[in-house]
A = this chain, B = another copy of it.
Amino acid sequence: MNIDIGNALDAVAQPGVSEDSLRRLDDRVAAAHDRIERGIADEEFGYAALSLPETTDPDAIHDAVAPLADSEYVLTVGIGGSALGAATVADALGVGERAPVLDNVDPQSLQTTVESLPLSETAVHVVSRSGTTAETLGNFLVVREAMADAGVDWTDRTIVTTGESGPLHALADEHALPTLSVPEGVPGRFSVLSPVGLIPAAILGCDIEAVLAGGHAGRTALAPSIFDCPAYAYGAVAVALERRGAHVNAFVPYAERLEYFAEWFAQLWAESLGKDGMGQTPVRALGATDQHSQLQLYRAGRHDKLITLVRPRDRSQLTIPDTEIEELAYLGDTGVGELIDAEFEATEASLAAASQPNVRVEIDRLDAASLGELLYGMEAACILAGELLDVETFTQPAVEWGKRAARGLLGDIDAPETDAITEKERLVVAPDRSQ
């Protein structure tokens, strides 16, 4: 993974950061690097995520999934960090169509998904650290019943990833389900390089060893200076720009198979850094598609955005056929990859010409190793950013309020938060149907 921060410099962009101020910031980066290395060495909460390329045992994953190796589909039942990593890896490695996810509680789509799958050829991967996540367990109960109705023995088709205890663990024990652990000390959004993120890819025959090797390459690339470490360069520049007004981070991969990656990044960034009145708002986008949707705003709107442009350097070959249409003759014999790369570079230049800060992230190609490196790099960038912002990167205290309110509404607990719902301030505007 390489990072080009040229278009984030103040010679180009507004807001922009000077090379001098990057050099000054580099002392803090060195100190943060020390802190992070200490956290890794001591297996501290959160920092332990950066050891996963070494601590995750691919053989244990292969052993656990072996009884399910005949599966045509893998349905991940999880939400947030328990689902996004798995979907990201499967999608990036080209098996996304066979790795659907239940990460919502929409009755319509839940039913459609369950009905569309050949349940006797589907592995169900249930992921919840606590084993009590309402959405996940509710969905699992629906899937389990659908399997029973279809005459499929759910105990033959289910694999569980959960904590060391809890109701899901107990259930797995009772029915002797293959079970792997959510790694200790690793928050869900940092767990992609563990069984949480790798199980569907493993069942579907992807090279998870290469993903971990890519992560390992990211680990060895950590170094105490912005100018030597792509991941820290990205994290530091993002923070420097945020301080100068770039309160939005639009993450724009130019590769369809990284569409889920952008969503994974959005969780990583928002939940880790969105604290204490700070944190960039991540915006998931997709190149070149969103040039026809968001680029007008990115160029001509406020100067409050960092645009992160991501691409693989090598692409598969596919040529646009010659055409009898004169106005399109210039496209004939052009590679589709050439076209998207031309648009990538043109968009990057067009943002720079409008002084809108942007950063280029490049990987060699979209394969398992580069994916692992990119995942690891963005996690390290995020942890570095958290150090520079002095926030608690690994917690998400603000989501608890709503969880309690919802459980109160559903009658599980008595929660004062629930009262706020009935006392809601209302000013409803409805159409006048009498016309």
Residues from chain B with Cβ under 8 Å of A1 in the complex: 431
Pairwise interchain contact B292-A79, C-beta atoms closer than 8 A: yes
Contact of A294 among B270, B320, B418, B430 (CB under 8 A): B270
Q: Which of A64-72, A205-213, A282-290 contacts B (4 or more CB under 8 A)?
A: A282-290
Looking at the complex, which one of B281, B331, B348 makes contact with A305 (CB distance below 8 Å)? B281
11 chain-A/chain-B pairs, Cβ below 8 angstroms: A106-B255, A135-B288, A138-B320, A141-B321, A141-B331, A229-B431, A267-B294, A274-B301, A296-B396, A299-B398, A342-B409
State in angstroms the CA–CA spacing of A189 and B321 once bound together: 29
Which residues on the B side are within 8 Å of A430 (C-beta)? 2, 230
Of the candidates B142, B299, B421, B435, which one forms a contact with A318 in the assembled complex, judged by CB atoms under 8 Å apart?
A: B142
| With contact pairs A230-B429, A406-B343 given, residues A105 and B336 touching in the complex (Cβ less than 8 Å) | yes
B84 touches A137 (CB 8 A): no
Judge whether A256 is part of the interface by a CB distance below 8 angstroms: yes
A294 adjacent to B266 (CB under 8 Å): yes
Q: How many chain copies does the complex carry?
A: 2
Contact A429 B233 (CB under 8 A): yes
| Interface residue total, chain A, C-beta cutoff 8 A | 156
Q: Which residue of B lies closest to A412 (CB)?
A: B330
Q: Within the assembled complex, what's the spacing in Å between the Cα atoms of A4 and B274?
A: 26
**Distance A278 CA – B107 CA, assembled complex (angstroms):** 38
- CA A19 – CA B427 in complex, angstroms? 10
Q: A330-B410, A398-B295 are in contact. Are A289 and B103 (CB under 8 A)?
A: yes
For A234, the closest partner residue in chain B by CB is B429
Which of chain B's residues have a CB closer than 8 A to the CB of A326?
167
A399 and B248 contact, CB distance less than 8 A: no
Interface stretch of the complex, out of A6-14, A45-53, A178-186: A6-14
The answer to whether the Cβ of A390 comes within 8 Å of any Cβ in the partner chain is no
Q: What's the minimum C-beta distance from A415 to chain B, rounded to whole angstroms?
A: 9
Cβ contacts A392-435/B at 8 Å (1 or 0 each): 00001111011101111111100001101100111111111001
Asked if A302 is at the interface (CB within 8 A of a chain B CB), the reply is yes
Give CA–CA (A263, B428) in the complex, Å.
26
A388 contacts the other chain (CB 8 A)? no
Task: Tell which of A34-42, A117-125, A349-357 binds the partner.
Answer: A349-357
Q: How far is the CA of A263 from the CA of B134 in the complex (A)?
A: 28
Minimum CB distance partner of A11 in chain B? B425
Known: A317-B107, A326-B167, A346-B402. A5 touches B427 (CB 8 A): yes
